[in-house]
């Protein structure tokens, strides 16, 4: 069983739940940016959550299945076609040998997930099948998919006709709140700088990929100081340090960048807060132009939100079992 | 001065040991990381020492954040108890072709992003450090050994801090605007850190030379990479050895034939002994490296 890539779509890669444990040598967690949608796609086709799926940004691929397969598409709001005929998303589909899966124009969200029963069976690298593009390893041959690639598929036992209830599918809005825990180097901001960070919305720029999401808005002010030895000359510089996944850095005070799952693991820019784990999927599904308010919450509120997200995921999994 | 603890939302704890860089702060970060790693605490997924800070990534479904903080503070407390400050590590040699035509050519393509468009990166670095010549700068850079104070940014990229007193530290600003290209295995410099580019790509550090020795081998076919695809680990001590074009090409051939081995020896680094007399201590380290 294999999948032939006829057209690759945009920034299409193989991703699973990620590669923890190597951040101390600069290897980020990687994995599906929107883990909820990836888990739903896997559950729909009878795979464990750890199975590898196909992730695309904004534009879906065109794929041909060499043998019968149970397939599901989740994530962004995008019309799905099987042999040119409309097919439902968030639903397990019964594809016959030679069937082609393709997509129309994205209507909302940003990232599309395609799961196939048995999972995409590329080799494990450091315990994960996820592509880490900067390191050129993992995924399919250490790179994004190209036309002509043939993806190996494992053995599965999915059944068609399962569907994620409407209420358990994500909603995509052009305005959103992104909850953050302030801290890290936020003491380096002036009061005006802090107010500029959290009191006004930021617009997501087109520079939004698996490494980071860059926003545009008003510049932030940093406290002037004599820079410490080793920290670099700009007030937004620090002695190079590790970057939390989801942390927000503001090089030069101009454009906040949220680091995502293919983050650079460290560097010399001050970070002023971190997106809570429960909102990383929401950031992943935001398209350029989206207006985001960074809403400060406490660590306890972040943990409550995490518990709510887990409960919602458990409800989704239960609905498909 | 006390460390600053801060949450990176619900999955990270960051300990800022000091705002400035020093061997003492880095040593503390590495010692805390090593203490935490040896405890094998369930739920601590990544323990990442950095130059003057420590990042811990955890899974709050397996360990409560308050418990993570307690364990990390205990590790810090043990260090402050005044026990012996030693690090079991290794020392190895990396040959470097300084002032090579490849990095010079790359630098020439991005002169509009540089502080001194009419000078090379090395000429600028010498001037910034009040050294009389590029030769003198290379002499200083390849003289004393360096400690790997952090690995990161991208996969396997080491940040290196020279083992000399602060008044002898080389300091060079980064490019005004980053380049879009840097050759693989470039010896770069920014602030007070050497970095070795493990992969080709964008970069803002000044470029001083090239090593013919890979530091990252995702295929794990080279003999020094059979256990792990990255060579550098935090705490590694490295000595640069200046080579010329002929030796660069010779080593490159050995690497391509799978025959080159990085010269390395295990070593115990003792911070107090080092601080008594850095130059004498470094000389002893080099005896370990180059002794039989």
Question: Whole-angstrom Cα distance, residue A318 to residue A307?
Answer: 16
What domain range includes position B10? 4-83
Asked if A132's CB is within 8 angstroms of B51's CB, the reply is no
* B253-291 tens-digit pLDDT: 999 999 999 999 999 999 999 999 999 999 999 999 998
Tell me if chain B has a CB within 8 Å of the CB of A79: no
The answer to whether A187 and A269 are in contact (CB under 8 A) is: no
- Do B43 and B185 have their domain in common? no
- Do B51 and B128 have their domain in common? no
Domain closes at, from B83, B99, B129: B83
Asked if A303's CB is within 8 angstroms of B55's CB, the reply is no
Residue percentage of chain B with pLDDT more than 70: 99
- Do B100 and B180 have their domain in common? yes
- Do B25 and B100 have their domain in common? no
Scanning A178-207 for CB atoms below 8 A from B yields 180-181, 183-185
CATH number (domain holding residue B249): 2.40.100.10
Pick A136's closest partner by Cβ from B152, B193, B199: B199
Question: Whole-angstrom Cα distance, residue B201 to residue A80?
Answer: 36
- Do B102 and B48 have their domain in common? no
Q: What is the mean pLDDT of chain B?
A: 94
Domain closes at, from B45, B67, B83: B83
Rounded to whole angstroms, what are the CA distances from B49 to A266, B46, B81, B152, B260? 11, 10, 20, 10, 30
- Do B231 and B274 have their domain in common? yes
* A260-282 tens-digit pLDDT: 999 999 999 999 999 999 999 99
Tell me if chain B has a CB within 8 Å of the CB of A264: yes
Question: Whole-angstrom Cα distance, residue B173 to residue B205?
Answer: 8
Strands (E), A211-318: 212-216, 237-242, 247-249, 257-259, 266-269, 271-275, 291-296
Closest CA to A242 of B151, B2, B209, B128: B151
**Number of structural domains in chain B:** 2
Q: What are phi and psi of B248, to 5 degrees?
A: -55, -50
Best to test chain A binding among B4, B5, B10 (most A CBs inside 10 Å): B10
CATH number (domain holding residue B61): 3.30.1360.40
Q: Closest chain A residue to B233 measured between Cα atoms?
A: A25
Q: Report the complex ipTM.
A: 0.96
- Do B156 and B207 have their domain in common? yes
- Do B78 and B134 have their domain in common? no
Residues of B in Cβ contact (< 8 Å) with A229: 20-22, 166, 169, 192
- Do B125 and B79 have their domain in common? no
Q: What is the pLDDT of residue B83?
A: 63
Q: Which residues pair with B146 in a beta bridge?
A: B162, B238
The H-or-E segment that residue B90 falls in is: strand B86-98
Radius of gyration (Cα) for chain A, nearest Å?
Answer: 20
Tell which wins on pLDDT, B20 or B292.
B20
Q: Closest chain A residue to B63 measured between Cα atoms?
A: A303
Kindly list the averaged pLDDT for each block of 10 residues, start to end, along chain A of length 321.
96 98 96 98 98 98 97 98 98 98 97 98 97 95 98 94 97 96 96 95 95 91 90 86 96 90 93 98 97 98 98 96 85
Rounded to whole angstroms, what are the CA distances from A159 to A87, A93, A95, B89? 16, 8, 11, 54
Q: Closest chain A residue to B154 measured between Cα atoms?
A: A26
Pick A264's closest partner by Cβ from B19, B55, B153: B153
- Do B33 and B105 have their domain in common? no
Q: Closest chain A residue to B198 measured between Cα atoms?
A: A135
Pick B57's closest partner by Cβ from A23, A184, A303: A23
Q: What is the pLDDT of residue B1?
A: 60
Question: Hey, what domains does chain A have and what are their CATH numbers?
Answer: 2-168 (no CATH), 175-311 (2.40.100.10)
- Do B154 and B64 have their domain in common? no
Tell me if chain B has a CB within 8 Å of the CB of A312: no
B105: closest CA of chain A, how far (Å): 23
Rounded to the nearest 10 degrees, how much is the dihedral formed by the CA atoms of B70, B76, B77, B83? 150
- Do B187 and B59 have their domain in common? no
Domain closes at, from B57, B83, B109: B83
* B96-137 tens-digit pLDDT: 999 999 999 999 999 998 999 999 999 999 999 999 999 999
């Amino acid at each position: 069983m294999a999948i032939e890539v006829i057209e690759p779509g945009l920034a299409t890669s193989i991703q699973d739940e990620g590669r923890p444990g190597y951040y101390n040598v600069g290897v980020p967690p990687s994995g599906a940016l929107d883990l909820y949608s990836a888990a739903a796609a896997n559950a729909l086709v009878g795979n464990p959550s750890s199975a590898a799926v196909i992730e695309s940004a904004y534009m879906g691929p065109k794929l041909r299945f060499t043998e019968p397969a149970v397939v599901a598409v989740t994530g962004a709001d995008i019309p799905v076609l099987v042999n040119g005929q409309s097919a439902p998303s968030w639903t397990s589909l019964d594809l016959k040998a030679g069937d082609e899966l393709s997509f129309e124009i994205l209507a909302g969200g940003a990232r599309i997930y395609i799961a196939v029963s048995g999972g995409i069976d590329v080799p494990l690298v450091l315990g994960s099948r996820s592509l880490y593009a900067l390191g050129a390893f993992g995924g399919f041959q250490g790179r994004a998919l190209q036309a002509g690639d043939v993806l190996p598929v494992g053995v599965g036992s999915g059944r068609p006709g399962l569907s994620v209830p409407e209420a358990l599918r994500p909603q995509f809005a052009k305005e959103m709140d992104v909850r953050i825990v302030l801290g890290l180097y936020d003491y380096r901001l002036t009061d005006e700088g802090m107010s500029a960070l959290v009191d006004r919305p930021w617009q997501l720029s087109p520079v939004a990929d698996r490494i980071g999401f860059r926003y545009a808005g008003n510049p932030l002010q940093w406290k002037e100081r004599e820079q410490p030895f080793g920290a670099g000359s700009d007030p937004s510089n620090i002695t190079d340090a590790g970057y939390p996944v989801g942390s927000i850095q503001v090089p030069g005070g101009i454009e906040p960048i949220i680091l995502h799952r293919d983050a650079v693991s460290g560097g010399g820019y001050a970070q002023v807060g971190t997106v809570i784990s429960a909102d990383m999927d929401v950031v992943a599904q935001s398209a350029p132009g989206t207006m985001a308010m960074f809403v400060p919450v406490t660590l306890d509120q972040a943990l409550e939100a995490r518990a709510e997200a887990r409960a919602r995921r458990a409800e989704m999994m239960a609905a498909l079992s | 001065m006390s460390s600053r603890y801060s949450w990176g939302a619900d999955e990270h704890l960051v300990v800022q040991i000091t705002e400035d860089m020093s061997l003492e702060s880095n040593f503390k970060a590495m010692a805390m990381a090593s203490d935490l790693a040896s405890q094998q605490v369930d739920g601590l997924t990544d323990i990442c020492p950095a130059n003057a800070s420590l990042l811990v990534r955890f899974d709050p479904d397996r360990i409560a954040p308050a418990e993570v903080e307690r364990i990390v503070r205990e590790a810090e407390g043990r260090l402050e108890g005044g026990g012996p400050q030693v690090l079991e590590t290794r020392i190895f040699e990396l040959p470097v072709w300084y002032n090579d035509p490849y990095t010079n050519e790359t630098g020439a393509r991005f002169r509009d992003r540089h502080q001194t468009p009419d000078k090379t990166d090395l000429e600028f670095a010498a001037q910034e450090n009040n050294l009389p010549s590029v030769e003198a700068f290379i002499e200083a850079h390849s003289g004393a050994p360096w400690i790997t104070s952090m690995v990161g940014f991208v996969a396997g990229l080491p940040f290196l801090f020279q083992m000399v007193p602060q008044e002898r530290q080389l300091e060079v600003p980064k490019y005004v605007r980053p380049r879009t290209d840097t050759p693989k295995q470039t010896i770069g410099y920014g602030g007070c850190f050497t970095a070795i580019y493990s992969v080709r790509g964008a970069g803002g550090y000044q470029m001083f030379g090239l090593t013919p020795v890979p530091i990252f081998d995702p295929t794990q076919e080279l003999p020094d990479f059979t256990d792990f695809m990255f060579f550098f680990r935090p705490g590694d001590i490295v000595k640069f050895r200046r080579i010329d074009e002929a030796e660069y090409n010779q080593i490159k051939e050995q690497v391509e034939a799978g025959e080159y081995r990085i010269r390395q020896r295990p070593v115990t680094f003792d911070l107090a002994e080092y601080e008594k007399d850095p130059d004498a201590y470094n000389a002893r380290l080099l005896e370990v490296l180059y002794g039989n």
